[in-house]
Chain A
Amino acid sequence: MTRPLIQIDNEVREMTEEEHAQYLEATKDISPLTPETE
């Protein structure tokens, strides 16, 4: 399964498993407002 992309300064690469786990943890707290279309 492809993991999300992370950019560190100017380098873009796939997240490591550890980074992916951290990302999922970091984004679980609060869902953003429902995106509104113009």
Chain B
Amino acid sequence: MATKTFSDGVALPASDINTYLTNSGMTLIKSQTVGTGVTSVVVTNAFSTDYENYLVTYNGITNTGGEVLRIQLGATVTGYYGNLIYANFASGAVSSVGDNNTANWTHCSGGVNNFTNMQATIMRPFAAAATSISAPYQDGANAGHKSGWLNNSTSYTGFTLIVGGGFTITGGTLVVYGYRRPT
């Protein structure tokens, strides 16, 4: 989509408004508040042909625990690959945790008592092609990055946040944004 410069006092067609609201740099697709004590949050109708790449954010969690969130696309429970590579604040020692054909992408956010900030970029989930994920990780002693992919030809419209380790999540706002297509 070419950019357009608007002028004062000139008619503004509805089609221009709709085009530019849909194709601004990053567009809000949906948001939802997380309930109390849940272990899974299913997000439907998040991905479509309107956008190719997406940003998922989640913060404002209010309960205690170490919530390290996982992401599952659609109903797919196999074939996830990736690595969390992280370093300890004090020692600088570098470690990793791998997803090797797992049921979801693990470690898609950090997790500390009363703190879970997710900032996951999901590339091409709606396309009938491989999907990838990129997300920073932080906890009380480490920071790092998660990167992974799901190599199949399934087109997804939604995803599920999953909390493992016997934890739950309460509160906070989950937001899905779409990146403008460069057309």
Residue contact A9 to B44, C-beta cutoff 8 Å = yes
Residue contact B32 to A10, C-beta cutoff 8 Å = yes
Residue contact A33 to B107, C-beta cutoff 8 Å = yes
B94 at interface, CB cutoff 8 A = no
Partner of A35, one of B34, B104, B112: B112
Give the nearest-CB partner of B174 in chain A.
A7
Residue contact A38 to B115, C-beta cutoff 8 Å = yes
B164 at interface, CB cutoff 8 A = yes
How many contacting A-B pairs (Cβ < 8 A)? 104
Classify the secondary structure of B's interface with A. Answer: loop
Interface size on B (CB < 8 Å)?
Answer: 42
A27 to chain B, nearest CB (A): 4
Give the nearest-CB partner of A35 in chain B.
B66
Partner of B33, one of A8, A10, A31, A37: A10
Residue contact A5 to B102, C-beta cutoff 8 Å = no
Q: List 15 A-B contacts (CB under 8 A).
A: A6-B39, A6-B41, A7-B38, A8-B42, A8-B44, A23-B39, A23-B40, A27-B165, A30-B99, A32-B66, A32-B68, A33-B111, A33-B142, A35-B167, A38-B113
